[in-house]
Chain A
């Protein structure tokens, strides 16, 4: 299997985050390890770029719950109107 592009890695990561929402918080390292396991030719730098793309276009956001995690944008549960 050939190495996927950054866009393709970002899409796979997005799906992982979307599938885990409400069940498990994923860290950058979790996403990176899963991608590298599936595509051994992908290095950490490519994973970083894919995560950066997800953040910069607003599809994902960083969250802090004791450690830093990646989530889909959502209304802050703690922020009452």
Chain B
């Protein structure tokens, strides 16, 4: 049990699910820092007030991100958590580790910090919780020796993250891990040195299932999709029917755009009406698969409700072939234009989606040099967010 008297924290042990308190109790036996952490947390629960001071100038030499400064305002009572800084460590693409490297990271943190971790933070980084200012640089050096770098925090490019992609998923329409890694390398400067009005996030999803929820959680969302027809294995469809699946009720009737038919023998899809919702493919993975002409859709402007309300991303580039180096180069150029415009016109702590709302999408597209297209929409089956003027259409016809 706790070294300090912590009756309110003890209550958390009585619930049906594992509690972080149980782990803290274990660690406090060897870490005085955790004993004080428990004490301060108990105080916070009793007083209903947080006792952490956040921010400041702590960090590692030359970097403006990766360390989140945290100090206790009860330093006299809990001196071992006077400093309790968090370190964000750039995770491997799609969070693949060997058990050996996990042991090494645990050893580094046991030596230099509290031993407490959060695997993983909501941005995707490994989060190492609680160390002192003096231990930041040694921890950074030890992590670097094992091939790890710090992630992003503050007004920087946050650590890019991706779904498992083709490493474990047959529906991946592009190599999310490779693109995530390439972007991380390409934008090292933006990741470590704050030059933006506020944070900027990339997230990479291999298919419209969007397992990393990039459409809601990243400023630039890169979601795999396909251009041609859904692949159908009619023999496998028959197997599903034979096994008892009610294909009409469970697949056809639920299709949001009603683009599918089932005649008792096979499935037919009107692919022009398909909105790539992935429902049918998810339900019948052996019979249906994304098409063969695969790439991604680029969306922009999502954010969680920290400053203003939450925003979902809107389509910026309807389709990009990520296997074509020229198209990827064009994407990097577009990102540079977006960041330039944002840097020039963005207010302090204004996300890119908020800037677009403020200046209007048409002004924004013109500024970044992107031609409007009818496929630029804010949601499937929606009208384009660009209104094409009649006179322009007439001019084009002439």
- Chain B min CB distance to A57 (Å): 9
Which single member of B61, B69, B154, B156 contacts A58 (CB below 8 Å)? Answer: B61
Stretch at the interface among B115-123, B193-201, B217-225, B354-362: B193-201
A-B contact pairs, 30 of them (CB 8 A): A27-B155, A27-B194, A27-B197, A28-B193, A28-B195, A33-B344, A44-B343, A51-B193, A52-B189, A52-B193, A61-B57, A62-B57, A64-B68, A66-B349, A67-B154, A67-B197, A67-B198, A68-B65, A68-B155, A71-B57, A73-B57, A74-B57, A76-B56, A76-B58, A78-B53, A78-B56, A79-B56, A79-B82, A79-B133, A80-B82
Which single member of A29, A52, A74, A77 contacts B197 (CB below 8 Å)? Answer: A29
A52 nearest in chain B by CB position = B193
Using CB atoms and an 8 Å cutoff, list the residues of chain A in contact with chain B: 27-29, 32-33, 44, 48, 51-52, 55-56, 58, 61-68, 71, 73-74, 76-80
A63 nearest in chain B by CB position = B57
Would A48 and B193 count as touching, CB distance under 8 A?
yes
Chain B: how many interface residues by the 8 Å CB criterion? 35
Digitize B328-369: 1 where CB-to-A-CB distance is under 8 Å, 0 elsewhere. Answer: 000000000000100110101100000000000000000000
B82 nearest in chain A by CB position = A80
6 closest cross-chain pairs (CB), A and B = A62-B64, A68-B194, A68-B154, A68-B155, A78-B71, A64-B55
B44 at the interface (CB under 8 A from A): no
Using CB atoms and an 8 Å cutoff, list the residues of chain B in contact with chain A: 53, 55-59, 61-65, 68-69, 71, 75, 82-83, 133, 153-156, 189, 193-198, 340, 343-344, 346, 348-349
A27 to B153: give the CA distance in the assembly, Å.
15
Would A29 and B195 count as touching, CB distance under 8 A?
yes
User: Which chain A residues border B64 with CB–CB below 8 Å?
Assistant: 55, 62, 68
- Chain A min CB distance to B1 (Å): 30
B350 nearest in chain A by CB position = A67
Would B63 and A66 count as touching, CB distance under 8 A?
no
Would B56 and A62 count as touching, CB distance under 8 A?
no
B57 nearest in chain A by CB position = A63
Would A28 and B194 count as touching, CB distance under 8 A?
yes
User: Which chain B residues border A48 with CB–CB below 8 Å?
Assistant: 189, 193, 195
User: Which chain B residues border A56 with CB–CB below 8 Å?
Assistant: 61-62
A58 to B220: give the CA distance in the assembly, Å.
33
Would B56 and A67 count as touching, CB distance under 8 A?
no
Most interface-central of B63, B69, B133 (chain A CB within 10 A): B69
A64 to B194: give the CA distance in the assembly, Å.
10
A51 to B189: give the CA distance in the assembly, Å.
11
